[in-house]
Structure 1
Amino acid sequence: MKYLDEFGDPELARRLLDEIHAVTTRPWAMMEICGGQTHSILRHGIDQLLPESIELIHGPGCPVCVTPLETIDKALAIAERPGVTFCSFGDMLRVPGSGRDLLSVKSAGADVRVVYSPLDALNLARENPDRQVVFFGIGFETTAPANAMTVHQAERLGIGNFSLLVSHVLVPPAIAAIMESPRCRVQAFLAAGHVCSVMGTSEYPPLAQRYRVPIVVTGFEPLDLLEGIRQTVVLLEAGRHEVANAYPRAVPDAGNPAAIAMLGDVFEVTDRTWRGIGRIPRSGWRLSPRYREFDAEERFAVSDVRTREPAVCRSGEVLQGLIKPHECAAFGKQCTPRDPLGATMVSAEGACAAYFAYRRLDLARRS
């Protein structure tokens, strides 16, 4: 399969690993931003094949995981309203809010539906003009263009019974927040290739210079990740605080101009709260004034929800790269995929779910 099988070639992987071992002379700690990269690293055992002096720190790039608790509670409050059809991708249904999740609200009789595209929700609104149809728009720059296009279409077609519950967040401000933490150990970043395929790479050189860290745009297959790690180590060893693109087949430096234009029309930058991290200035999007009538948070007046995370859950520290999942006392005990305490155990991209799925329970038992 083109661009898949050839990027899992074991012989080429061995060569890249040999090069990484050859160029590594000092301990280095680098963070992979994306939860998809975390799962690929653990699934293929890449972290166990690297030199012991290279530590991979798992970052906050899981869109489900960083959706704040208060936004989940807003979703629950909207979903249980009479006359509402609440639409979401399936991975959000079991993310715990304050004592409940969307699946339990659905079980209690609410009209909660799993869709595969925001346009599915827009079609439901067009077919059911007597109901308010809400789509749960979460995620990073990767998923935002499709949500922006859907709102644009709703406005163009005059579909007034559609709205979007927005919880979009941006990667570059999160990198800045991580680097400014007094507990930060990150010396380099593996940037998320799919985010950069949308937004390009122009926002990263100022971050690399300001915080004196190399940033390498990296894909998701084994060879992509190994090449990204190799380029990162080369930059670290040379003391170069630069941006490199190890995923050129998918990432042009300019990104996707049409998607960027759509995002600029439908959204505006705002402060956002990240689950487990807190409020990061100018780290998210909200609907711009032209499209504000499609904002579900305003339409249903759920802006004042206040919540508190369960004390035993340390997913916030996992998302910041301060601890590994198995270092949380609840991991694999009170917190499992069947009965999760936090979103990092629920999401298909969550670090805790990755450690649980890929034989890392033994680490918790030994600790």
Structure 2
Amino acid sequence: MKYIDEFRDGETARSIAALIAAEAQPQKSYRLMEFCGGHTHAISRYGLLDLLPAQVRMIHGPGCPVCVLPIGRIDSAIALASTHKLILCTYADTLRVPASGGLSLLKAKARGADVRMVYSADDALRIAEENPSREVVFFAIGFETTTPMTAAVIQQAARRSLSNFSVFCNHVLTPAAMQHIMESAADPDAVALDGFVGPAHVSTIIGSAPYEAFTQRYKRPVVIAGFEPLDVLQAVLMLVRQINAGRSAVENQFSRAVSAAGNIKAQAIVSDVFELREAFDWRGLGEVPLSALTIRSAYSAFDAEQKFSIAYRQVADPKACECAAILRGHKHPADCKVFGSACTPEQPIGACMVSSEGACAAHYTYGRHKVMAIRATGVAA
């Protein structure tokens, strides 16, 4: 297929859905986690759940980098911008995530902190060059997709001897989170899973090979999928067929963009600049070992955590917010009592409603009327 319309063809979608319905065995349960927020939005936007049989259940995962960033890390960024009077640069979604005391980076900006939205890590580097008399910190977040860009700007800053530039690194790793989800299976709040729809953009960087050990250890299939509706439906069909056959393998539906080895050059840049953290606090998952990156000692001059002695403090989510349970797949956005009422994209209480990849934002944008109808009548619309 060459054109985007082909990936959204309704007749083809119904044909794939018919195959899923025919091959999904009535006595089996197919509990599939779409790890990535992009898949969650595709499923909601195109109404894919309405095409799937009842025994095929899609479960949201923690694959939204803004959503999994804990409040304590945002508090640290706010303190950094407010106390040190520096320029803090970050991505748009991060600005609106609620932090302690009703604050956010956007509200800190309104109170006088110099917080700036950027479209890329390069923008932050440029701001540092344009303001040589001021410290500039890039508040870096994201999975493996955005990590190479952060590594590249640190390399550039080193080559240019930009002593006023540093990075507050919050880059996290997908396979470690998937492993943690499976290791937590004995937790009463955990949800049983039969397979994973693997992330697309992440896999263009790391490739499909890193999931091999996961499927062998946990005996759960992984199918890497693109973000279009036909991509997702085909991935579901591939997972159903693996589960029916008792197989647990890594399959690559997104072969037009993902290879087994991934982007070798990007991996080399990341390896040069970053190393594994011993542990990192994830919203919803808690402390996850070896699940995030920190800046190597060779580039410590550009590590904001060392430069400004940033101390992390764990902070609990608001009691009314169910983001943590939603990120674990234990609850659905509709299970949250404040969804669509006190918590909306305009006035978010939790991170899942803020991000363009958040599960709550997806259901609010594409399915809130159905949720409200069910709440009002107790009957599915």
Q: TM-score range by the shorter chain?
A: over 0.9
Residue 214 of structure 1 deviates from its aligned partner by: 0.5
Corresponding residue number in structure 2 for 1:57: 59
Q: Could you tell me which amino acid in structure 2 is paired with residue 363 of structure 1?
A: V
The answer to whether the aligner puts 1:320 opposite 2:322 as a matched pair is no
Please point out which of 247, 250, 267 is paired with 1:243.
250
Flag as ranges the 4+ runs of structure 1 deviating above 4 A: none
Distance 1:82 1:140 in 2: 28
Identity of aligned residues (%): 46
The answer to whether the aligner puts 1:273 opposite 2:276 as a matched pair is no
Task: Could you tell me which runs of 5 or more consecutive residues in structure 2 were left unpaired when the two chains were aligned.
Answer: 376-381
Q: Could you tell me which amino acid in structure 1 is paired with residue 269 of structure 2?
A: M
The answer to whether the aligner puts 1:357 opposite 2:349 as a matched pair is no
- TM-score between the two structures when normalised by the length of structure 2: 0.94
Distance 2:291 2:120 in 1: 24
Residue 304 of structure 1 deviates from its aligned partner by: 3.8
Distance 1:340 1:193 in 2: 27
The answer to whether the aligner puts 1:173 opposite 2:162 as a matched pair is no
Residues 355 and 361 in structure 1, CA contact (< 8 A), matched pair in contact too: no
Please point out which of 252, 268, 284 is paired with 1:261.
268
Residue 170 of structure 1 deviates from its aligned partner by: 0.5
Residues 82/282 of structure 1: CA separation in 2 closer, same or farther (3 Å cut) = closer
Give the number of aligned pairs. 367
Distance 2:10 2:181 in 1: 34
Residue 3 of structure 1 deviates from its aligned partner by: 4.4
The answer to whether the aligner puts 1:297 opposite 2:310 as a matched pair is no
Map 1:202-213 to 2 at 5 A: 202-213=209-220
CA shift digits 1:131-161 (9 cap, x unpaired): 1111111010001000110111101111111
Distance 1:347 1:83 in 2: 27
Residues 345 and 353 in structure 1, CA contact (< 8 A), matched pair in contact too: yes
Distance 1:159 1:165 in 2: 16
Residue 336 of structure 1 deviates from its aligned partner by: 1.6
Distance 2:293 2:17 in 1: 39
Corresponding residue number in structure 1 for 2:194: 187
Task: Could you tell me which runs of 5 or more consecutive residues in structure 1 were left unpaired when the two chains were aligned.
Answer: none
Map 1:1-367 to 2 at 5 A: 2-25=2-25, 26-98=28-100, 99-181=102-184, 182=186, 183-270=190-277, 271-364=279-372, 366-367=374-375
Residues 209 and 242 in structure 1, CA contact (< 8 A), matched pair in contact too: yes
Provide the aligned C-alpha RMSD in A: 1.4
Residue 176 of structure 1 deviates from its aligned partner by: 1.1
Corresponding residue number in structure 1 for 2:378: none
Residue 184 of structure 1 deviates from its aligned partner by: 2.7
Residues 152 and 266 in structure 1, CA contact (< 8 A), matched pair in contact too: yes
| 3-state secondary structure, aligned to 1:335 | coil
CA shift digits 1:319-349 (9 cap, x unpaired): 0000101111121222221221110010100
Residue 27 of structure 1 deviates from its aligned partner by: 2.1
Distance 2:132 2:113 in 1: 18
Residues 86 and 135 in structure 1, CA contact (< 8 A), matched pair in contact too: yes
